[in-house]
């Protein structure tokens, strides 16, 4: 087919200099650019929701809500708890652990 010289002539390039600068704009218009598009950065809220999208955390969240709601009904009725005034601490501690874990994961992922 004529070898390298014919190919270089057809693509309007030089073996030593490469693409001539005045041809660069025409080439980019015809072929398009060869740059990756800028990546869309996630917001901190999106990263936090992604961290909360863990099956174990969802189970713990449900358990904490059930524990707190169960304890609140017991506090009102004062049925079985020896110390109803502090019975909410267990559910609250689970919620704190969930949000600490998700918050730390969010900060680590945001720094990446």
* Strand ranges inside the chain, DSSP E: 13-14, 18-19
Whether residue 27 is found in the same domain as residue 61: no
Q: How many domains does the chain have?
A: 2
Whether residue 58 is found in the same domain as residue 96: yes
Express each pLDDT in 35-86 by its tens digit. Answer: 888 888 889 999 999 988 889 999 999 888 887 776 666 555 554 556 656 6
Whether residue 84 is found in the same domain as residue 104: yes
Whether residue 15 is found in the same domain as residue 58: no
Question: Please, which residues have CB within 8 angstroms of residue 21's CB and are 6 or more apart in sequence?
Answer: none
Tokens 């174990």, located at residue: 56
Please state whether the predicted TM-score (pTM) of the whole model is above 0.75.
no
The pLDDT value given to residue 3: 83
Tokens describing residue 22: 């005045």
In whole angstroms, give the CA distance from residue 24 to residue 98. Answer: 55
pLDDT-derived band at 107 (thresholds 50, 70, 90) equals very high
Map residue 11 onto helix, strand or coil.
coil
Range of the domain at 18: 1-35
Q: For residue 100, is pLDDT > 90?
A: yes
Whether residue 22 is found in the same domain as residue 52: no
């Amino acid at each position: 087919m004529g070898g390298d010289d014919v190919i270089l002539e057809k693509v309007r390039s030089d073996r030593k200099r490469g693409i001539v600068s005045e041809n660069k704009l025409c080439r980019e218009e015809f072929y398009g650019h060869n740059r990756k598009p800028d990546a869309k950065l996630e917001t901190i809220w999106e990263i936090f929701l992604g961290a909360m999208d863990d099956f174990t955390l969802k189970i713990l969240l449900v358990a904490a809500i059930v524990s707190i709601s169960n304890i609140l009904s017991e506090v009102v009725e004062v049925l079985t708890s020896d110390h109803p005034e502090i019975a909410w601490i267990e559910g609250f501690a689970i919620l704190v652990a969930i949000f600490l874990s998700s918050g730390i994961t969010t900060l680590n992922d945001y720094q990446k």
